[in-house]
Amino acid sequence: GQAEAPAEEPTEGQAEAPAEEPTEGQAQTDQPADQDETQTGAVPPAEVTVEQKTEIKQVVQEVDVDPIPVDRIDFELDVGVAVPRTIEVRPLPPQIVRIVPEYEDYLYFVLADGRIVIVEPDTLEIVVIIV
């Protein structure tokens, strides 16, 4: 009757789950340039805090940028959605890159209702929408 007893399998799920360790390397700003390639189209590079969002909003209000009328947006405004090339995106101001260094080379546009949309430069995917 031994064949009927289910074999004790090692719990597979545990081996696959990555251990939640603080990633120490992230605090350093002088990372090798070749790391950029691994980030393409993946997770947003930075979680933007409420304070950072407030600072970004202040910077964008000072920059003279033509807002895009909301009725011109014929695509879903959501993180991960690629922005059509018909939308004029511009490089983030250096002040914003100082606030969130991970957003260097990123693009953005502003909507007439005040929303600021930050876009990944290679894929044109929305990484964050600041309301």
CATH topology of domain 43-131: Nuclear Transport Factor 2; Chain: A, (3.10.450)
What value does the mean pLDDT take over residues 70-91?
95
Residue-level pLDDT at 106: 97
Render pLDDT for 92-115 as a digit per residue (tens, 0 to 9). 999 999 999 999 999 999 999 999
- Cα 124–Cα 31–Cα 109 angle in degrees, nearest 5: 25
pTM: 0.65
Residue-level pLDDT at 127: 95
Render pLDDT for 28-78 as a digit per residue (tens, 0 to 9). 444 444 444 444 444 546 789 999 999 999 999 998 888 999 999 999 999
